[in-house]
Each structure stands twice: as structure tokens, then as C-alpha cells.
Amino acid sequence: MNEHLVPAIVGFVACGIGGALTPYLIRVLPEPPPDPEPGEGVELTAAQKARLEEPPKELYADLGGRPRLGLLAALVSAVAGAGIGAAVGADWQLPLLLALVPVGTLLGIVDHRTRLLPSIVVLPATLVALGYGGARWATTGDSDDFVRGLIGLIVVRTVFWLLWFIRQAGMGFGDVRLSALLGCVLGYAGGSELLTGLYAAFLVFAGRGIVLALVKRDRSVLKKAYPFGPFLLVGAWLGIVAGDPLVSALYG
């Protein structure tokens, strides 16, 4: 039996089960506090103006109660888990990656519907990823993977923090937090996966806007703000699944 087939099956089943829990987990998330009303005579930043123009955000309780959400999340998680299992095989990273797939599905759905990436999910997931790499270092004595993941976290988070700081209206700080988690995980996977994952996120994001502008024949679509979290997650998945073979094919 192909050595990647069993991990693919395990990924499909385990992540599908984890994804099916998404509606319940969304419902138990604490609702974010409402944005404070600006005081009279206070000059608002571009990001604050953009938030005031947005419609009211969907409550987590309402989002978690949407019909067929569990089926959709289970299907997305199962397919993503199968792809990762087939690509990674029985590698030390596999348990961590499969555990994070349903987390990524939850974050993608929440960000798509609310433009929020709850730190109560992102930050513990980042600590788990760091702890997992640290535990491998402690048990094997090989620090290379952990150091690579730590460097990926620091570099990617720094880049996204600069993007957030320069153009706050175009990126939320939740994207900065998420980038740290993905930088760590992609760093564990390798340099090819890290570069491909980041590049793919921006490429898919830009491609979606161009396609919508062409279909709707309206260039103003390109100026509309969209949540970036789902594209970061898709890019990271593509980096893990296709990063190494793609870079090898281009530069090998």
C-alpha cells in the first residue's frame, strides 16, 4: 500500500470529524465587544472609518446556527486533511497539521462572515505549534526544525505587522496574529513551503478580485475590502501540499 495513502485516509476521517464540530465551537466563542462610538471632534483613522461603514457583524451564535454549516465544514476539513496527509505522509509534522486543519476551517468561516479572527483561537493554536516543535527538539535533540519554525514565525509576523502598520485599512491585526501561526507551521515544513504558501495567499487574493471585476464588469470591486484570513489559510495549505514539488519543478 502506498505510504501516503494511509495518512491521507487518516487525514480525511480525523479532519472531517473535527470539522463537523465547527458549528458548536463557533457558538461557544465569546462575542466581541462592539466598537466604541467616536467622540465629538475626534478625527478617525482610515481603518476606523472603514469599520463604521460596515454593516453590523454577524453574531457567532447566529453563524454557528446556520443550516448545513457542519456538513460544509466537515467536507472542507476532510478534503484539506486528505491533501495534507497525502503530501506529508507519516512525517513528524502530520499530527500537528491535522490538528490545525479544523482550526483553520473554523477561522476561515468566521473571518469570511464576520471579518474577525478571534485571538482566543489563534493565540492558543500558535502556542501549541511552538510547543509541538519544542517537544520534538527536547525528545530528539535536533533543533533545526524548531529553529526554522521560530524564524518563520518571527519573519512572517514582522512582514505582516509592517503591512498592517502601513495600510491599516487593508489588513486587520487578526491577520498579523494568524500569519505568526502559519509562519511557524510553514517554517517547520520547509523554505519551499513557506515561500509558496505566502506567495499563493496574495496570488489567490488578487486573482479573486480580478475575476470578480471581469465577471461583474466593475473595477470598483478591486477597491472593496475582503477578509484576508481565508486566503492566508488557502495559501498555507497550497504551500504544504504543493510547495516542495512546485519549487523543485521551477528551480530543480
Instruction: Write down the mean pLDDT value for the chain.
Output: 86
- Residue 143 belongs to what domain range? 5-251
The amino acid at residue 39 is G
pLDDT in tens, 218-245: 555 445 567 899 999 999 999 999 988 8
Closest by CA to 235, choosing from 175, 145, 162, is: 175
In contact, 169 and 54? CB cutoff 8 Å:
no
Write the DSSP string, 120-167.
HHHHHHHHHHHHHHHHHHHHH---HHHHHHHHHHHHHHHHHHHHHHH-
Give residue 38's pLDDT.
55
> Is the dihedral angle over the CA atoms 83, 85, 91, 97 positive or is it negative?
positive
Contacts of 131 (CB under 8 A, 6+ apart): none
The structural domain count of the chain equals: 1
Give residue 225's pLDDT.
62
Over 60: is that where the pLDDT of 36 sits? no
pLDDT in tens, 184-208: 999 999 999 999 999 999 888 877 6
